[in-house]
Amino acid sequence: MFNHIEKLENLRALLLLQPAIQEFQQTYKSTSMIYKIPPGIFSKLKHLQVLNLSGFPIIDLPSSIGETKELRYLDLSYTLIELLPVTICLLSNLETLKLRGCVRLVRLPEGIIKLTSLLHLDLNILSQLSLLPKGIGKLTALETLSAFLVDKEYGRRINELGYMNNLEGSLCISQLERVSNSSEAKEAALSHKKHLKRLELRWSAPRLSRKKNQELEYEVLDNLCPPSSIEDLEISGYGGLIFPNWIGDSKVLHMLLA
Digit-coded pLDDT (tens) for 102-142: 999 989 999 999 999 999 999 999 999 999 999 999 999 99
Helix/strand/coil (H/E/C) assignment for every residue in the chain: CHHHHCCCCCCCEEECCHHHHHHHHHHCCCCCCCCCCCCCHHHCCCCCCEEECCCCCCCCCCHHHHHCCCCCEEECCCCCCCCCCHHHHHCCCCCEEECCCCCCCCCCCHHHHHCCCCCEEECCHHHHCCCCCCCHHHCCCCCEECEEECCCCCCCCHHHHCCCCCCEEEEEEECHHHCCCHHHHHHCCHHHCCEEEEEEEECCCCHHHHHHHHHHHHHHHHCCCCCCCCCEEEEECCCCCCCCHHHHHCCCCEEEEC
Q: Which CATH entry fits the domain spanning 1-123: 3.60.15.10, 3.80.10.10, 3.20.20.120, 3.40.1780.10?
A: 3.80.10.10
Candidate from 1-10, 138-147, 149-158, 235-244 with smallest mean pLDDT = 1-10
Q: What is the pTM of this model?
A: 0.88
Question: What is the per-residue pLDDT for 255?
Answer: 65
Residue 34 has pLDDT above 90, yes or no: no
Mean pLDDT of 192-215: 87
> When comparing pLDDT for 161 and 10, which is higher?
161
Euclidean distance between CA atoms 119 and 98, whole angstroms: 11
Question: What is the per-residue pLDDT for 232?
Answer: 93
The confidence band for 166, taking pLDDT boundaries of 50, 70 and 90, is: very high
Question: What is the per-residue pLDDT for 17?
Answer: 75
Mean pLDDT of 228-243: 92
Question: What is the per-residue pLDDT for 249?
Answer: 72
Question: What is the per-residue pLDDT for 131?
Answer: 95
Question: What is the per-residue pLDDT for 254?
Answer: 67
The confidence band for 175, taking pLDDT boundaries of 50, 70 and 90, is: very high
Residue 24 has pLDDT above 50, yes or no: no
Rounded mean pLDDT of the chain? 89
What percent of the chain has a predicted confidence (pLDDT) above 70?
89
Rg over alpha carbons for the chain, rounded to the nearest Å, is 21
> pLDDT of 10-23, one tens digit each?
899 989 876 444 44
Euclidean distance between CA atoms 25 and 6, whole angstroms: 17
CA 58 to chain centre: 20
Residue 230 has pLDDT above 80, yes or no: yes
Question: What is the per-residue pLDDT for 247?
Answer: 87
